[in-house]
Amino acid sequence: MMKVLFFVIVVILGVANVSGEKKNDHNHDAHKALCDVMKAAVGRWGDGGQHLSPSLKQALGKTLFGSEEGKGSVETLRSKLPNDYDTEVKEPGSRFLLCGHQPEVVIRKKQTRWPGHSAPHDLLCLCTPGDGGWPLNNGKAEKLCGKEKGALRGEKNEGWSGSKGKGKDQMTATWTNITRECLQGDEKAGDLQKALGDFMEKLKPKLTGVPKSMYQLGEGDSDQYPCSGIKETGICVMYHNNTSPMPWWTNLKNLLDEEEAKKLEQHEKQQRQSEAPKQKTTQKKENQQFPQEPRSAALRSTTPSTEEVEQINPENISAPLATLEDTSGTLLIQPSSWLLFAVVLI
C-alpha cells in the first residue's frame, strides 16, 4: 500500500513540475511545435533536396531558406544569423514589420523579411526577448522558448522591439542558442506531416477587429501593431493568409496532403493486387471440389417425386369419382351425358 501511495505522489509531483515549467517558459508549446517542423524539414531536405520532387523541393526551400530556389545550405544557415538582419534591425519598428505586419502592404522598399518568410525567421520572432528584455525582465517568465535570459542576452534589460538599431545582440543569441538546435535534422526528427499538423494546431485564428485568414503563433493579445515585442502586443508571429506572399507552411501543407493521398492510393492498389491471386486460388479450389453439382441438381429437378408418380398412376383416376358417392354407394351428383359416353367407349 505504501509503495502505491509513493508512486501516486511521485506522479502528481512530476505532472505539477511539468506544468510549472510550461507556465514559467514563455511560448513553450509554440516553440516546440515550430522547432519540430524545422527538424523534420531538415531531415527531408537531406542532400540538398536532390531526391525530392520539384514541387516538394520548392516548398521545403521556402520553409528553410525563404526561397523556392532553396539557395544556400543548412550548414551555412545554421552557422550564424543571416546578414540581412543587420539592415532590418536598424529600421524603426523593425519587429512589427518583420513579425506582425501584413507583407503585401508596402511601408518601405527592399524589405527582405516578413511574417511567414521562413520557419527560421518565424522562430526568431517567437523567441527573441522584446523591449527591455521582456518577458524575461519585468515579467513572470523565467524562460523564453526553453532558455533563460542569460543565454538570450536578456540580463542587460535590452531586446528587439521598435527602437531603432536595438536588438541585434539578442537576435544573434537567439539564433545561436535556439535556431541552431532546431536546424539539427536526424533520424529522430520525426514525421514532417505530423509535425506540421501539430504546429498548425498551435495557430490561433484572429477573427475580431482584424481581417479574416490571420493566424497568430505565440503569446500576444493586441490587434494593433501585433507581435511588435512589447508587453501589450506580445512576442509572436502574425500570419496573413489572405495576401501574397503566403506563409511558408501553406504550400507545404497542400503538397504533404497530396503526397499522403497518393501513398494511400498506392497502398490500396497494392493490397488489391495482392488479394487478387488469393481470390482466384479460392475460386479454383471450389470449382474442383464441386464440379458436377450444377448437372446433378438439374437431373434431380427432372426426376418426379413419389407424389407425382401417384398422381400419374391410372389407378388413381377413379379416386376423384369415388368422392362423388356416399357411403351407401349412391352417387351424390349424377354424371353428365358426356361422361356416360366416355364410359361406353371404354
- What are the E-state strand segments in the chain? 25-26, 143-144, 147-148, 204-205, 214-219, 235-240
The residue-averaged pLDDT of 90-119 equals 86
The reported pLDDT for the residue numbered 187 is 60
Which range has highest mean pLDDT (4-8, 74-78, 239-243)?
A: 74-78
- pLDDT tens digit string along 36-93? 999 999 999 998 999 999 999 999 999 999 999 888 899 999 999 999 999 999 989 9
Q: Is the pTM of this model over 0.75?
A: no
The reported pLDDT for the residue numbered 209 is 59
Instruction: Collect all residues with Cβ–Cβ distance below 8 Å to 179 and sequence separation of at least 6.
Output: 78, 120, 123, 124, 127
The reported pLDDT for the residue numbered 328 is 43
Percent of the chain with pLDDT over 90: 52
Q: Where are the domains of the chain?
A: 17-254
Going by C-alpha positions, the residue among 138, 114, 104 that lies closest to residue 62 is 114
In this predicted structure, the answer to whether residue 146 has a pLDDT above a threshold of 50 is: yes
d(CA 17, CA 108): 46
